[in-house]
Amino acid sequence: MAGRKPKPTNLKVLEGNPGKRQLNPSEPKPDASVPKCPAWLSKEAKREWKRLVPFLEKAGLLTQADRAAFAGYCQSYANWIEAEAHLAAEGSTFETPNGYQQQSPWVSIAQTNQKNMLRFCTEFGLTPSSRSRIVVENTSNPEADDMEALLGDGR
């Protein structure tokens, strides 16, 4: 299928529906509770999970249905960190038995995981450009929100 992939309705709502197209009223609504961190994630991936879950939970961007995608981001992050550590210790090239310089496989591993991370990041609003399109309501003071909404409408 050609063209852009459709955005989830909740993300369009958070962005203020910039295209002003009709929203999908029949879109599935997964359980909004935060998924449990998978036990199989590496130690570094679990650390990244714990670091980002509060932000995603507050923004309402992480549901039970997103567990695998977010775990994929976290593990790609951990793999990228591991590859970068190897590159820092060993360098990005090595000498072959014939005396030629060759690129370390860790360069490719780092690049692949970094690309995977970026793809996942845009899905969860974790890049500056994707985050700039999201508007999160302040739920800390409901009365202030009503007043802000009233003032924001210009009434």
- What is the residue extent of each domain of the chain? 36-94+101-135
pTM: 0.72
- 3-class SS of residue 40: coil
Residue 109 tokens, joined: 């591993």
pLDDT of residue 14: 72
Q: Tell me which residue of 8, 55, 53 sits closest to 30, measured CA to CA.
A: 8
What distance in Å separates the CA atoms of residue 109 and residue 14, rounded to the nearest whole number? Answer: 34
pLDDT of residue 60: 83
Torsion of CA 60, 58, 19, 2, to 10 degrees: -50
pLDDT digits (tens, 9 = 90+) for 51-102: 999 999 988 889 999 999 999 999 999 999 999 999 999 999 999 999 999 9
Percentage of residues of the chain with pLDDT beyond 70: 77
Question: Is 6's pLDDT higher than 70?
Answer: no
State residue 94 phi and psi, 5-degree precision: -145, 165
Q: Tell me which residue of 83, 85, 88, 89 sits closest to 105, measured CA to CA.
A: 83
Q: How confident is the model at residue 155 (pLDDT cuts 50, 70, 90)?
A: very low
Rg for the chain (alpha carbons), in Å? 21
Specify the DSSP class assigned to residue 66: G
Question: Is 144's pLDDT higher than 80?
Answer: no
Question: Is 148's pLDDT higher than 60?
Answer: no
pLDDT digits (tens, 9 = 90+) for 26-45: 766 777 789 999 999 999 99
What distance in Å separates the CA atoms of residue 117 and residue 115, rounded to the nearest whole number? Answer: 5
Q: Which of 8-12, 13-17, 60-64, 135-139 has the lowest mean pLDDT?
A: 135-139
Q: Report the mean per-residue pLDDT for the chain.
A: 84
